[in-house]
Chains A and B, each alone.
Chain A
Amino acid sequence: MSGSRTSTYVAVCRVDDIEPETGVAALVGGEAVAVFRTYDGEVFALSNYDPFSHASVLARGIVGTRAGEPFVASPIHKQAFGLRTGQCLDDAAVRVPTYDVRVVDGTVQVGGARQ
């Protein structure tokens, strides 16, 4: 889950604050980041900004799996984004930024945007 480079991590919440298969929005470096927890307990971070609707909403989407891979569906028009990569599963040309994220002693920490 961590990136290959060094990142400054910011604690945003307890992992238990995120109900499994939901997301929360966090403010990281002044930007809205969506942090998700899957059924298996993995944690992912994506930009909260939905490039289709231009609204800051991805944390409020439904989380599930497509062919076993975790994804979130935008709450505005349901486009799906893979949680691991930020890749839109309905449009190969669209991707949302992902962030480094880790859980340390039950605390979720978000790092910088991955390149």
Chain B
Amino acid sequence: MMAPHLRRQIVVVGHGMVGHRFVTAAIERGLTETHDIVVVGEEPRPAYDRVALTSFFEVGADELSFLPEGEYDDPRVRLVLGTSVDGLDPETRAVLLSDGEAVHYDELVLATGAAPFVPPVPGHDLPGCFVYRTIEDLEAIREAAATARVGAVIGGGLLGLEAANALHQLGLETHVVELAPRLMAVQVDEAGGRTLGRHIEGLGLTVHTGAMTERILGTTRVEGLALKDEDEIPAEVVVFSAGIRPRDALARGAGLELAERGGVLVDERCRSSDPHVWAIGECAAPAGRMYGLVAPGYAMAEVVVDALLGGAGAFTGADMSTKLKLLGVDVASFGDAHATTPDCLELVYSDAVAGIYKKLVISEDGTRLLGGVLVGDASAYGVLRPMATSGLPLPDNPEELILPVSSGAGMSLPAEAQVCSCNDVAKGEIEAAAEGGCEDVAAVSKETRAGTTCGSCKPQVKKIVEDWFAAQGKSVDKSLCEHFAMTRAELFDVVLIHGYRSFDEIVEAHGTGRGCDVCKPAVASILASQVNHHVLERGNRALQDTNDAYLANIQRNGTYSVVPRIPGGEITPEKLIVIGEVARDFGLYTKITGGQRIDLFGARMEQLPAIWRRLVDAGFESGHAYGKALRTVKSCVGSTWCRYGVQDSVGLAILLELRYRGLRSPHKLKGGVSGCARECAEARAKDFGIIATEKGWNLYVGGNGGAVPAHARLLAGDLTTEEVVRYLDRYLMYYIRTADRLQRTAAWIDSLEGGLDRVREVVVDDVLGLGSELEAAMAKHVAGYFDEWRATLEDPDKLARFVSFVNAPETPDPNIDFGVTRGQIVPEVHDGPVSLGPVELGATIPVGEPR
């Protein structure tokens, strides 16, 4: 590293998506080895995903944040938030912050973004008028919507429709007012705009196109809109979304050159007229043109990092293709969408009934795809956009690319075709990542960033990775193992359809060989989910993983730990004492678990029945800590005791834990219930989490601690307890039926086409009509539940296996030894097998008995 006094300083003005991308690229590419970076952000919070702003109401600010920890993991980057930059002096190379601090820079990067354009109509500044750009804007809109009935959005472009979606979500009767003759005039053509308009009206919104807003009505606050040649619209909330303007005031004040239509004029290295000032993102105008999308902004950020490292990268224009889902409607536009190329041809597929419109723009000689518009079904976008931007030759029957059901999936792209436009990832880079050792799509995405910004190319990335593996003969083998050439979900269906009850039947009919440590536990889990028999039934117990085979958790020295169920973490003093007595009498190590129960370690296998007899007699039952099964439903103390609680979280947690106890699943399942928004139960770290609201419960799904932590996301809000149970029944059964083995719910949701939206469609909207079937399957589980430890104690055949040695049932294994740490036992490991020496067989050596 350079000596500190030789280090240079970069100041970044603006901490939005593009400013953040600049900093992460600078750290990744080693620019911080030689430079300190000061980032000054005006908003009170670090950069967040503005593209997904509309989901703020659903997921909250934390989920959108790019930097939830509030700082970069590089001490050479200083992040200053809630502070604007008020002055720039290129002579002395200094910026003046709003808190009075003057900061020197060697290089200055302007990433100030853009501001919403508010047309100067009379009344535009009345209370009740909003713009749609920041989380604070959305918070203000939400507050105003709480007491409003009707809302209007001025502007029917991409952002305007996002804003309309937000008002619609907030329960307002929503109007969209657009000056142009159609919606999304920049991206789609007239027929596409009409199709989109019909979709949106079908959702209950009112669209006014070709409508000019003359005045905002009202005296002390907004009361409505006056339109030219149309009836007035009464509205208490008005959102302006009539375009954006680059925020170039700082550059203007410093005398830097600006583009004719605004924006800091920069060259193709993104350098302004001052050699030490750079501009990236929406505030910049490379070659005089401003780009209002995030992907070109990211590209500019990378170009400047490259330039500061001495590279030769250049920004030479961007692909303005767009694909998004607006109010549930797919809209995509790419290349020459408006057919402005001379003599080009148009190929149109339109189905007004289904609300689908697709247009391809083709070169005059019919050999090249120039661009297109897709409304209602944009599944072909992943193939069409790279085809247009890479100049791939058109197939002989180009109409097949847009006919129904075609997703163009059969088409192959050249290696240089850009698949992810947000992060500029070409097909070749995706394949290289697969070749370089990434074992699945998730790993490839992480490595290349493909699909990690807007997500529209995810299906395409998945297909490329799968095709690549297939071509290597590695076919992303979805086989469970060498014995079953099918996925767990397929196997689940096979077992369900045929009503199989044993591994032998299944492997004979659908597999080969005699199974292994992968397929046997998977089959055991599937049978347990469907048949609900005792996991230690004969013929069944040979399938169980060690933990299930002995109904306890094996530990490093071959002993087991024991976890009795403590539903919701609520326990009486009497029961606590029993656990303490059992631990003391058997000499067990005790530890409190993260799931609000007590784990007793160091039990020899042959001691397990005696330990459980004591526990069962005291009213305990199996906690299934050993199973891929429901573990616990953690709770905070809730409204019963807590002065902040609004619902009885303990009561619901106990209800749910008792309902789903014993449920075997592809992986362990954890739940949590919090009695208020303070979330003391950490429910959003669970596979299902419930958080109390004033009106009921919010249900979150797909949370995960572990190696890849994930916050649970909102499935449905303000539910009654009955609704929580119904949705959970469906969600859990849907997961059990369709997930891969050892796939937690977070990864499972990500793997579904459509992700969380798909889960919501199936669980809440019941689009597959599976709801009652899933509920019935869960009802069967609940009715069939029994405590498997009690049942084991009652069955001599099952108990017979709990012996240390088949020919010396009570002789402890000499390999098991303990030391003492902090007053409790700990395993002591031997470096090789330990022999007892010659022992007279049949003799009983009373060791390890309860005293």
- Tell me, rounded to whole Å, the shortest Cβ–Cβ distance linking B498 to chain A: 21
Interchain CA distance A89-B676 in the complex, whole Å: 53
Query: A54-B830, A75-B546 are contacts. A27–B805 as well, Cβ < 8 Å?
Result: yes
Of all chain B residues, the one with the shortest Cβ separation from A110 is B807
Question: Contact at B516–A64, with CB atoms within 8 Å?
Answer: yes
B833-848 CB mask vs A (1 if < 8 Å, else 0) is 1011111010000000
B832 close to chain A: CB less than 8 A? yes
- Tell me, rounded to whole Å, the shortest Cβ–Cβ distance linking A112 to chain B: 13
Residues 1 to 60 of chain A near chain B (Cβ within 8 Å): 10-13, 17-22, 24-27, 29-32, 35, 38-39, 47-49, 53-57, 60
Interchain CA distance A56-B807 in the complex, whole Å: 16
B430 close to chain A: CB less than 8 A? no
Chain B residues with CB under 8 A of A92 = none
B806 close to chain A: CB less than 8 A? yes
Chain B residues with CB under 8 A of A70 = 514
B778-820 CB mask vs A (1 if < 8 Å, else 0) is 0000000000000000000000000011111001011110000
Query: A64-B516, A65-B514 are contacts. A31–B833 as well, Cβ < 8 Å?
Result: yes
Interface of B is mostly: loop
Q: Which residue of the partner chain, among A35, A55, A63, contacts B558 with CB atoms under 8 Å? A: A55
Q: Pick from B276-284, B381-389, B537-545 the stretch touching chain A.
A: B537-545
Chain A residues with CB under 8 A of B558 = 53, 55-57, 60, 76
Chain B residues with CB under 8 A of A114 = none
- Tell me, rounded to whole Å, the shortest Cβ–Cβ distance linking B317 to chain A: 53
Query: Which of the four size classes fits the interface of chain B?
Result: 35 or more
Q: Pick from B233-241, B549-557, B595-603 the stretch touching chain A.
A: B549-557
Query: A30-B838, A62-B516 are contacts. A49–B546 as well, Cβ < 8 Å?
Result: no
Chain A residues with CB under 8 A of B364 = none
Interchain CA distance A1-B265 in the complex, whole Å: 85
Chain A residues with CB under 8 A of B519 = 64
Query: A10-B841, A27-B836 are contacts. A67–B482 as well, Cβ < 8 Å?
Result: yes
Question: Contact at A65–B515, with CB atoms within 8 Å?
Answer: yes
Question: Contact at B830–A27, with CB atoms within 8 Å?
Answer: no
Question: Contact at B521–A62, with CB atoms within 8 Å?
Answer: yes
B309 close to chain A: CB less than 8 A? no
Query: A27-B805, A31-B835, A47-B833 are contacts. A64–B513 as well, Cβ < 8 Å?
Result: yes
Query: A39-B514, A54-B831 are contacts. A27–B811 as well, Cβ < 8 Å?
Result: yes
B400 close to chain A: CB less than 8 A? no
B829 close to chain A: CB less than 8 A? yes
B217-242 CB mask vs A (1 if < 8 Å, else 0) is 00000000000000000000000000
Interchain CA distance A11-B521 in the complex, whole Å: 32
Interchain CA distance A71-B835 in the complex, whole Å: 25
Question: Contact at B807–A78, with CB atoms within 8 Å?
Answer: no
Query: A57-B554, A62-B516 are contacts. A27–B841 as well, Cβ < 8 Å?
Result: yes
Interchain CA distance A47-B830 in the complex, whole Å: 15
Chain A residues with CB under 8 A of B538 = 19
Residues 62 to 90 of chain A near chain B (Cβ within 8 Å): 62-68, 70-71, 73, 75-76, 78, 80
Question: Contact at A22–B541, with CB atoms within 8 Å?
Answer: yes
Question: Contact at B816–A56, with CB atoms within 8 Å?
Answer: yes
Question: Contact at A49–B832, with CB atoms within 8 Å?
Answer: yes
B495-533 CB mask vs A (1 if < 8 Å, else 0) is 000000000000000000111110111000000000000
Of all chain B residues, the one with the shortest Cβ separation from A49 is B833
Interchain CA distance A25-B811 in the complex, whole Å: 11
Interchain CA distance A60-B626 in the complex, whole Å: 15
Question: Contact at B835–A25, with CB atoms within 8 Å?
Answer: no
Interchain CA distance A6-B841 in the complex, whole Å: 22
- Tell me, rounded to whole Å, the shortest Cβ–Cβ distance linking A94 to chain B: 13
Question: Contact at A32–B806, with CB atoms within 8 Å?
Answer: no
Interface of A is mostly: strand
Question: Contact at B806–A26, with CB atoms within 8 Å?
Answer: yes
A61 close to chain B: CB less than 8 A? yes
Question: Contact at A54–B829, with CB atoms within 8 Å?
Answer: yes
Interchain CA distance A32-B549 in the complex, whole Å: 20
Interchain CA distance A61-B549 in the complex, whole Å: 9
Chain A residues with CB under 8 A of B830 = 54
Interchain CA distance A93-B807 in the complex, whole Å: 32
Question: Contact at A29–B835, with CB atoms within 8 Å?
Answer: yes
Question: Contact at B806–A76, with CB atoms within 8 Å?
Answer: no
Question: Contact at A12–B520, with CB atoms within 8 Å?
Answer: no
Question: Contact at A32–B833, with CB atoms within 8 Å?
Answer: yes
- Tell me, rounded to whole Å, the shortest Cβ–Cβ distance linking A35 to chain B: 7
Query: A53-B556, A66-B482 are contacts. A19–B541 as well, Cβ < 8 Å?
Result: yes
Question: Contact at A30–B546, with CB atoms within 8 Å?
Answer: no
Question: Contact at B811–A62, with CB atoms within 8 Å?
Answer: no
Query: A27-B811, A55-B556, A55-B815 are contacts. A21–B514 as well, Cβ < 8 Å?
Result: yes
Chain A residues with CB under 8 A of B814 = 30, 32
> Which of B517, B556, B831 is the most central at the interface, judged by chain A CB atoms within 10 Å of its CB?
B517
Question: Contact at A66–B516, with CB atoms within 8 Å?
Answer: yes
Interchain CA distance A67-B483 in the complex, whole Å: 9
Interchain CA distance A24-B800 in the complex, whole Å: 11
Chain B residues with CB under 8 A of A10 = 807, 841
Question: Contact at B516–A60, with CB atoms within 8 Å?
Answer: no
Of all chain A residues, the one with the shortest Cβ separation from B504 is A39
- Tell me, rounded to whole Å, the shortest Cβ–Cβ distance linking A87 to chain B: 16
Chain B residues with CB under 8 A of A67 = 482, 513
Question: Contact at A20–B805, with CB atoms within 8 Å?
Answer: no
Chain B residues with CB under 8 A of A80 = 516-517
- Tell me, rounded to whole Å, the shortest Cβ–Cβ distance linking A82 to chain B: 13
Question: Contact at B835–A56, with CB atoms within 8 Å?
Answer: no
Chain B residues with CB under 8 A of A17 = 806
Chain A residues with CB under 8 A of B815 = 32, 48-49, 55-56
* 10 residue pairs from A and B, CB less than 8 Å apart: A26-B808, A27-B841, A32-B813, A32-B814, A47-B833, A56-B833, A64-B517, A75-B554, A76-B554, A78-B517
- Listed from nearest, the 4 A-B pairs whose CB atoms lie closest are A75-B546, A73-B517, A56-B815, A30-B836
Q: Which residues of B contact A (CB under 8 A)?
A: 482-483, 513-517, 519-521, 538, 541-546, 549-550, 554, 556-558, 605, 804-808, 811, 813-816, 829-833, 835-839, 841
Q: Which residues of A contact B (CB under 8 A)?
A: 10-13, 17-22, 24-27, 29-32, 35, 38-39, 47-49, 53-57, 60-68, 70-71, 73, 75-76, 78, 80
| Known pairs A30-B835, A63-B542, A65-B513 / 15 extra A-B pairs, C-beta < 8 Å | A11-B807, A12-B807, A21-B542, A25-B813, A27-B805, A27-B839, A49-B815, A49-B833, A53-B556, A55-B556, A60-B558, A64-B515, A67-B513, A73-B516, A76-B546
